[in-house]
Amino acid sequence: MERMQASTYAEGKTQFICIGDGKSDYCPILKLGEGDRVMPRKHFSLWELICSNPLLIKLEVHEWIDEEDLERVLLHLINMFTREESSKTNSVQLIPGDCKLETIPISTHEAFHKSLQIPL
């Protein structure tokens, strides 16, 4: 998480949206700060951990229930970030509300870097 933050901050990006539902997503969100957002799936492990001790979380929480809800909340947050940035630069580039998330074929996933294994 620290490497991702360092590289994005160096590029001038300052906000993260972390989406998750499992216990393993909890530790990374503790490293995020004000201005960042977390999107836990409601009634799943991550959501329950956040609800059990909300004072540990320094970021806004935006829960979601299913894929359509995830899409709606995520597009809302992206548009909100985009509006904030465009107000700073006087340019507007919003994602349309009818934008649909697409699935990526499995063969494409192989080109991505492997995730880091974090010992528990």
pTM: 0.66
Q: Which residue has the tokens 């799936």?
A: 41
* Cβ proximity of 74 and 17 under 8 Å: yes
Chain segment 36-90, per-residue pLDDT in tens: 899 999 999 999 999 999 888 888 999 999 999 999 999 999 898 888 777 776 5
What is the model's pLDDT at position 9?
66
Residues with Cβ within 8 Å of residue 22, at least 6 apart in sequence: 44, 45, 46
Taking the domains of the chain in order of start, what are their residue ranges? 2-109
